[in-house]
Amino acid sequence: MADNTNNMASGALRSAGMPLFLLAMLCMMMLPLPPLALDILFTFNIALSVAILLTTVYVGRPLDFAVFPTILLVVTLLRLALNIASTRVVLLNGHTGTSAAGKVIEAFGEFVVGGNYAVGFVIFAILVIINFVVVTKGAGRVSEVSARFTLDAMPGKQMAIDADLNAGVIDQDEARKRRAEIGEEADFYGSMDGSSKFVRGDAIASILILFINIIGGLIIGTSQHDLTLSAAVHNYTLLTIGDGLVAQIPSLLLSTAVAIIVTRVSRSQDMGNQMFTQLFTDHRTMFVTAAILGILGMIPGMPNFAFLSLALACAFAGFRMLKAGEAPPPPVEAPVDLEETTADLSWQDVDPVDLIGLEVGYRLIPLVDRQRDGALVARIKGVRKKLTEELGFLVSPVHIRDNLDLSPNEYRISLAGVTIGEGEVHIDKDLAINPGQVFGKLNGIETTDPAFGLDAVWIDASQREEAQMLGFTVVDTATVVATHLSQLLQSNAHELLGHEETQQLLDRLAVNSPKLVEELTPKLLPMSVITRVLQNLLQEEISIRNIRKIAETLAEQGTKSQEPDVLSASVRVALGRSIVQNVAGTRPELSVLTLEPELERILNESVSENGSMGLEPAMVERLHQTLSEKAQSQEIAGEPAVLLVGPQVRPWMARMMRSVRNLHVLAYNEIPDEKRVQMIGAVG
């Protein structure tokens, strides 16, 4: 109880801290402050600026310091409030000497510039030029470009999240978290673009305050306090220069902090580690630097000791880096099982065919090595979990092994021992996929996405940010293979379901509906017929999660027919609401294509008893081409392509049009009564 009370009290104090701080700054502008208070506040300002600069250096990612734009505004206002307070003290008490505004300003005016106001003015001018012309201007430009590129890259990053979600790499919560992070990143760089103007305005204000203090001090000192011109120049100029230096140094620190954080790359590593790992990784850099310094050190008249000693240090560092790079890596054993040769053979030596297999070349072994936490193993687990949830049955495990017959970067996916897909990937690169609209080109290895056939480029990891800003969807190697596997398993889901899986589904259903399962099989329908019906549904991308509804329909229709195709059509009618919802969502209207009456009459007359269709090949080809064009136009318009036909024709049309992308063939009796149908065209 006491801990909760203390936490609430500390939280209330933190919440009230910022309003109190802003009120204190307002008081500093309105009320005169004693020199001791100015000393404390100037010291606090310098310490705060140093702390902010070090935070930008050690923070892992820019988003970890998302409050920085607000802090920048508050600290800028604090510095301006201190300038107003010190100006008041300088103009009121400057005639008494250089200690009138406190020890901090006096120290900067006397010690830092040696009591020479001309030197102090030059140093102040140099600091202002560095701050205003170099750091602030560059940081402002980087902020502007980063904000624009971040907004341009948002669609590509969103598509990358969707790709990971579809591949089963991440779940809905992780996808929601990443989308929120993308929005925060856009907000952060947009805020930094505006906040950098505060620093620019502060630099201009420092110049104006300098001239106002000097001119005002000379007028007040000579006219009101009867000081000689030289005494007035000495006192007020040193005080003004000290005041300007005290304010300009924190300003320069903050400008540097702005420049650091907007030029950082979004990686979870502080800047010191990034600079060391990226700047001092190649021994050739150190050797060339040592050679150049050695040549300069041997020139007569040059500081030989400084150049030659530093050349030796660079050469020694390069030698150490070379030795570290030549150290042999620890031996890695390939996950290959070796069996002793036996004299006698048995049935144990006959290996069953793996239902789902993945073979990889030797360079891809680290992706699937469980001892080294291979990324692909976790991706495949996510794919199986996602497909199991969507399809409605447990997807079999994927058997992974290496295959020396494959090329080093090649992989092969098999189903029941038959290859259904293969591809070539690069383990040390990322794949930048062109989603259809990008803003430039990338340097890399041009290829196509193995899952969907989109144009893509293999790029280095350092090009990831650039590719996302250009609108590419960037995924790593493990995600590429996992997405390809997911796409192939989803399109061949009917081959993953067998008698064993069907029995498991019925056993789970029997826990809650024992009478239904007892009536259905084996009395009414054999297991082979039920399995075939479920396979037909999966082949047409219909989930069998609602196994209870499917079983009820089979039990009802099983007394009339035991033909799998007839039973499948009845189950489709029972699942019509979910089928239509998966196709068109929850919208009240369903836009459909239909067949012209004459064509539909010809098709109905051509259907034979076994479900085949006797049509001329030329007519089939024309019909296929027409429906492909209609489906493509619907896809461009962002609408689902639905062909509505009679129940007798639907199975044949669905089989014939299976190769048409995103075309859904539905029967009239599969549309729910509450769904409004809108005809958008008739195919002749």
Q: What is the mean pLDDT of residues 430-449?
A: 88
- Please give the Cα distance from 320 to 481 (Å, whole number): 39
- Checking if the pLDDT of 264 tops 70, the result is no
pLDDT of 346 strictly over 80: no
pLDDT at 336 over 50: no
Task: Give the pLDDT score at 341.
Answer: 46
pLDDT tens readout for residues 385-437: 999 988 999 898 899 888 888 898 999 999 988 999 999 999 889 999 988 78
Residue 474 pairs in a beta bridge with 432
CA separation for the pair 544, 531 (Å, rounded): 11
Residue 532's pLDDT band (cuts 50, 70, 90): very high
- Residue 338: pLDDT band with limits 50, 70, 90: very low
Percent with pLDDT over 90 in the chain: 8
**530 — phi, psi (to 5°)?**
-60, -40
pLDDT number for residue 18: 66
Average pLDDT over residues 311-340: 64
Spatial separation of the C-alpha atoms in residues 633 and 681, rounded to whole Å: 12
Range with the lowest mean pLDDT among 82-86, 181-185, 556-560? 181-185
Give the H/E segment covering residue 223: helix 172-223
Q: What is the mean predicted confidence (pLDDT) over 319-332?
A: 63
Regarding predicted confidence, which is higher, 675 or 3?
Answer: 675
541: nearest Cα among 586, 509, 494: 494
Instruction: Determine the Cα–Cα distance for residues 105 and 553; give it in Å rounded to an integer.
Output: 90
For the ranges 303-312, 317-326, 483-492, 579-588, the maximum mean pLDDT occurs at 483-492
Give the C-alpha separation, 123 to 325, whole Å. 46
pLDDT of 423 = 92
Amino acid 187: pLDDT: 74
**For the ranges 4-13, 435-444, 492-501, 599-608, which has the lowest average pLDDT?**
4-13
Give me the pLDDT at residue 414, please.
Answer: 92
pLDDT band at 57 (very low <50, low <70, confident <90, very high): confident
The chain-wide mean pLDDT, for the chain, equals 78
Q: Rg of the chain over CA atoms, in angstroms?
A: 37
pLDDT tens profile 140-155: 666 666 666 666 666 6
Which pLDDT score is estimated for 40? 82
Q: Which pLDDT score, from 0 to 100, does residue 64 have?
A: 75
Q: Which residue has the higher pLDDT, 596 or 189?
A: 596
pLDDT band at 58 (very low <50, low <70, confident <90, very high): confident
pLDDT greater at residue 623 or residue 266? 623
Beta strand 663-667 with 641-645 is parallel
Q: Choose between 274 and 524: higher pLDDT.
A: 524
What span, in angstroms and rounded, lies between the C-alpha atoms of 221 and 77?
29
Cα separation, 354 vs 495, in Å, equals: 13
Cα–Cα distance measured from residue 261 to residue 538, given in angstroms and rounded to the nearest whole number? 51
443 contacts: CB under 8 Å, gap ≥ 6: 459, 463
**What is the distance between the alpha carbons of residues 77 and 71, in angstroms, rounded to a whole number?**
10
pLDDT for 412 equals 93
Q: Are strands 430-433 and 676-683 parallel, antiparallel or unpaired?
A: unpaired
**Predicted pLDDT of residue 268:** 53
pLDDT at 272: 57
Strands 676-683, 445-448: pairing kind: unpaired
**Is pLDDT above 90 for 457?**
yes
Q: Is 609 helix (H, G, I), strand (E, B) or coil?
A: coil
Compute the residue count for the chain: 684
pLDDT in tens, 223-243: 777 777 777 777 777 777 777
- Position 481 scores a pLDDT of 92
**Cβ(516)–Cβ(548) under 8 Å?**
yes
Q: Are 243 and 213 in contact (CB under 8 A)?
A: yes
Residue 430: per-residue pLDDT: 92
Q: What predicted TM-score, i.e. pTM, was given to this entire model?
A: 0.56
Other residues' Cβ atoms within 10 Å of the Cβ of residue 406:
18
pLDDT at position 100, please? 63
